[in-house]
A and B are shown apart, each in its own frame.
Chain A
């Protein structure tokens, strides 16, 4: 992945929750770098941060969890690691507010599996790297069986402040 300025795109078509998810530039870049490093395998993990009334949440950090899925185009976290991350987060990371996983093929769009397994109430971030330029998009389902709607992703500074709303991506 070439280093370069993070690009901001508007969310793609579909219903969008107006309240943005805030993510710092460094977290977004580290997330994409991790996705590139794990190629051709997918990876994923937990997103830590805070839920705020003014936004859908602020992603302050993430942790990668072991992929137990042998196929390169799937990610399935070790459930024991999910449990430990959810119930016993290390180092004052704050609560788990969501999950992320990467797509090694295709766009940062939820696949049928993503839609089926996305747990209600969490932010679900997808990082796609084998596209024209790496891209991160965020989604959330509010209730079981509800639609998985895209969230605006606000790209903030190093300290996590909000930036322009839209999908965060870097050029490569």
Chain B
């Protein structure tokens, strides 16, 4: 009986076997490490020396050595131990790539302050150049973020906004100037961004984000910055990001306060874990209704931009699972921990919602508008000229009233309505108005519940009045 052959089995590819006069398919070679085995191999077959080892004696980069299924480059390279039962296979390296990207001299100069940071450097700057960031909303939050992300060298910026620039935007939306008023936001923004940094590619999405287009639009981006000003779009952005497994950098502002967080369902909670249900629409006035100190969205938008850059560069601790609360009046910030909801309908292990839904209905926006009696601006103007005009109740805030109000109207802000409801006549027709018709619809519902029968909401609010009846009325 003969002894079994000693040593490990080495498999040679046809390209190496072709170099040998009488090529065996497998060779038995003794050695305790890969280096020892390969040196023994070339000792047996000197023709292989220059194909396996470089002149410096290292294993050639054109050869990959597998020990069983393991690539030795991920173990101990040449020092990887081998046992007699191991199968060592030499395979040709199959690797390549286009020209290594590099920064141009102009880019090095432009981004030199980044290149000085070890956390960024040329490698990080190239990552920024490759990155695609979508800004949903080119308003108070999106405007400062777009400027700084463009300045930082983010290669592709997508902008989603269907609105036009209004004069009342200029107090905080620093992407736009006076000459931009009346132009589309994405058009004016892309012009400004390109003038700031011509290396940035701006993709304009002059649409409202809806359940029908959200996945298609978001799919092409690495990170989504949520700069929306309404709850339906905010839930839509969250759900789409969860479905597409993309991080969302969230921000919101109200008056002197702001919030920032990063929602990435792969590593932490999503927006729905924080707010499973939207608040009643009447309790969430927008900036247009509640007002905002112009610099606050600037601070929050730039904090969002910072989080975007951290995610793209892979540095620092992103605000995943943390909600940052900023208060400009007190000059303070604090942090709230957010936990992943194990029963979250979209991001839990067993989601109950597997696609996008009707978000206006989910947030109660369409439902509320449909349920109360309304009067339009022209009809109201006609009724006000009759001998028995309706009483006008303005449910906005004092600051809004000071900008513009309807003649003969009485100011009872929505927050004080329950206290002052007893002062309102039940035997007279009432028309309630606010800025856009949202708060007045809620007020009308409140009054109907308390026995008022002749009460209506001015549809479209004082904005509609300015559009259809009195164009001289100041807008805000």
Q: How far is the CB of A97 from chain B (nearest CB, A)?
A: 9
Q: How far is the CB of B95 from chain A (nearest CB, A)?
A: 4
Q: How far is the CB of B89 from chain A (nearest CB, A)?
A: 5
Q: How far is the CB of A5 from chain B (nearest CB, A)?
A: 26
Which of A14-22, A26-34, A115-123 lies on the face that meets chain B?
A: A115-123
B96 on interface, CB distance cutoff 8 Å: yes
A114 CA / B92 CA spacing, docked (Å): 13
Across the interface, A106 reaches (CB within 8 A) one of B50, B63, B98, namely B98
B64 on interface, CB distance cutoff 8 Å: yes
A144 CA / B54 CA spacing, docked (Å): 8
Task: Known pairs A73-B98, A86-B91, A145-B50; list 16 more (Cβ under 8 Å).
Answer: A42-B98, A73-B100, A75-B94, A75-B97, A76-B94, A76-B95, A77-B94, A83-B89, A87-B13, A95-B14, A110-B96, A111-B96, A114-B97, A118-B62, A118-B96, A124-B96
A positions within 8 Å CB-CB of B: 42, 44-46, 65, 69, 71-77, 79-80, 82-83, 86-87, 95-96, 99, 101, 103-106, 109-114, 116-122, 124, 126, 128, 143-145
Across the interface, A122 reaches (CB within 8 A) one of B15, B66, B71, namely B15
Name 21 A/B residue pairs within 8 A (Cβ), A-sorted: A74-B95, A74-B97, A75-B95, A76-B94, A77-B94, A77-B95, A80-B69, A82-B92, A86-B13, A86-B92, A105-B98, A106-B99, A109-B99, A111-B96, A111-B97, A111-B100, A120-B15, A128-B98, A144-B51, A145-B50, A145-B54
Check A75 against B18 for contact (C-beta < 8 Å): no
Q: How far is the CB of A156 from chain B (nearest CB, A)?
A: 24
A116 CA / B61 CA spacing, docked (Å): 7
A42 CA / B60 CA spacing, docked (Å): 23
Q: Which residues of B contact A118 (CB under 8 A)?
A: 62, 96
Check A46 against B94 for contact (C-beta < 8 Å): yes
Q: How far is the CB of B242 from chain A (nearest CB, A)?
A: 23
B4 on interface, CB distance cutoff 8 Å: no
Check A44 against B96 for contact (C-beta < 8 Å): yes
Q: Which 9 A-B pairs have the closest CB atoms?
A: A103-B98, A77-B94, A74-B97, A119-B92, A101-B96, A119-B62, A105-B98, A121-B15, A76-B95
A101 CA / B94 CA spacing, docked (Å): 8
B229 on interface, CB distance cutoff 8 Å: no
A84 CA / B308 CA spacing, docked (Å): 42
Interface size range on B against A: 20 to 34
Check B96 against A113 for contact (C-beta < 8 Å): yes
Check A121 against B18 for contact (C-beta < 8 Å): yes
Q: Which residues of A contact B96 (CB under 8 A)?
A: 42, 44, 74-75, 101, 103, 110-111, 113-114, 117-118, 124, 126
Check B94 against A73 for contact (C-beta < 8 Å): no
Q: Which residues of B contact A144 (CB under 8 A)?
A: 50-51, 54, 60, 62
A8 CA / B64 CA spacing, docked (Å): 35
B130 on interface, CB distance cutoff 8 Å: yes
B374 on interface, CB distance cutoff 8 Å: no
Closest-by-CB residue of A relative to B71 is A79
Closest-by-CB residue of A relative to B12 is A87
Instruction: Name which of B18, B54, B69, B98 has the most chain A CB atoms within 10 A of its CB.
Output: B98
Q: Which residues of B contact A65 (CB under 8 A)?
A: 94
A118 CA / B96 CA spacing, docked (Å): 8
B11 on interface, CB distance cutoff 8 Å: yes
A47 CA / B452 CA spacing, docked (Å): 82
B284 on interface, CB distance cutoff 8 Å: no
Q: Which of B69-115 contact A (CB under 8 A)?
A: 69, 71, 89, 91-101
Across the interface, B97 reaches (CB within 8 A) one of A96, A103, A124, namely A103
A112 CA / B99 CA spacing, docked (Å): 7
Closest-by-CB residue of A relative to B13 is A86
Check A112 against B60 for contact (C-beta < 8 Å): no
Closest-by-CB residue of A relative to B93 is A117
Q: Which residues of B contact A114 (CB under 8 A)?
A: 96-97
Q: Which residues of B contact A72 (CB under 8 A)?
A: 130
Q: Which residues of A contact B92 (CB under 8 A)?
A: 82, 86, 99, 119, 122
Proximity bits, B12-23, A CB within 8 Å = 1, else 0: 011100100000
Check B14 against A113 for contact (C-beta < 8 Å): no
Instruction: Name which of A74, A87, A112, A119 has the most chain B CB atoms within 10 A of its CB.
Output: A119
Check B97 against A120 for contact (C-beta < 8 Å): no
> Are A105 and B99 CB-contacts (below 8 A) given A82-B94, A95-B14, A144-B51?
yes
> Are A42 and B97 CB-contacts (below 8 A) given A82-B91, A86-B92, A144-B51?
yes
Instruction: Name which of B66, B69, B93 has the most chain A CB atoms within 10 A of its CB.
Output: B93
Q: Which residues of B contact A80 (CB under 8 A)?
A: 66, 69
Q: Which residues of B contact A82 (CB under 8 A)?
A: 64, 91-92, 94
Q: Which residues of A contact B94 (CB under 8 A)?
A: 44-46, 65, 75-77, 79, 82, 99, 101
Across the interface, B62 reaches (CB within 8 A) one of A86, A111, A117, namely A117
Instruction: Name which of B14, B63, B94 has the most chain A CB atoms within 10 A of its CB.
Output: B94
A101 CA / B98 CA spacing, docked (Å): 9
> Are A117 and B14 CB-contacts (below 8 A) given A75-B97, A105-B101, A111-B99?
no
Check A104 against B13 for contact (C-beta < 8 Å): no
Across the interface, B91 reaches (CB within 8 A) one of A44, A74, A83, A121, namely A83
Q: Which residues of B contact A112 (CB under 8 A)?
A: 100
A71 CA / B96 CA spacing, docked (Å): 12
A74 CA / B126 CA spacing, docked (Å): 14
A111 CA / B64 CA spacing, docked (Å): 20
Check A96 against B130 for contact (C-beta < 8 Å): no
A77 CA / B97 CA spacing, docked (Å): 11
Q: Which residues of A contact B93 (CB under 8 A)?
A: 79, 117, 119
Closest-by-CB residue of A relative to B72 is A79
Closest-by-CB residue of A relative to B50 is A144
